[in-house]
Amino acid sequence: MDVEIKVEYTEDIVKTAVRCFLKRSFGIGGVPSLIAIWVLSLISWYTESFEWVFPIALLLTAMVLYCSYYVRREALKRFAEFDEKEVTFRITDAALEVRSCMGEGNLKWNAYSKLWRFPEVWLLIVTGRNHTTLPTEKLT
């Protein structure tokens, strides 16, 4: 059974997909781990032991923030390159076919390594950094 879905992408959908991607990439323990590192670094700074912990905490936080900023910026930049924001997906038993103003193509289902499901979007992961975003409102 083939199903065709037309999706009109918006900046909000792209931002949501990026937020979900980062949330899953950093894992459920990402933010608590950063908080724990900061607490430990502040304790070590206050007690004047392990002076190296505070700069490392600062560096790790800066790296996480920059990575998050970079991924969001690049996604919005790619989104802005689309003249038309509508994408047509054709779901078949063998593959996911995609058509947009940028061209068309298809990937067999075994090319996707993971499916990350969130309430707002599904992310079909091809590689660690590449994915296809399907808004869940169109999947009902």
**Tokens found for residue 125:** 């992961």
Rounded Cα gap, residues 121 and 36, in angstroms = 30
Looking at residue 62, its pLDDT comes to: 82
pTM of the shown model = 0.72
Give ∠ CA 115-22-42 in degrees, rounded to 5.
Answer: 140
pLDDT of 51 over the 90 cut: no
Looking at residue 121, its pLDDT comes to: 93
pLDDT in tens, 86-130: 999 998 999 999 998 888 998 899 889 999 999 999 998 987 678
Looking at residue 118, its pLDDT comes to: 92
Looking at residue 96, its pLDDT comes to: 92
Comparing CA positions, the residue from 88, 94, 117, 129 lying closest to residue 20 is: 117
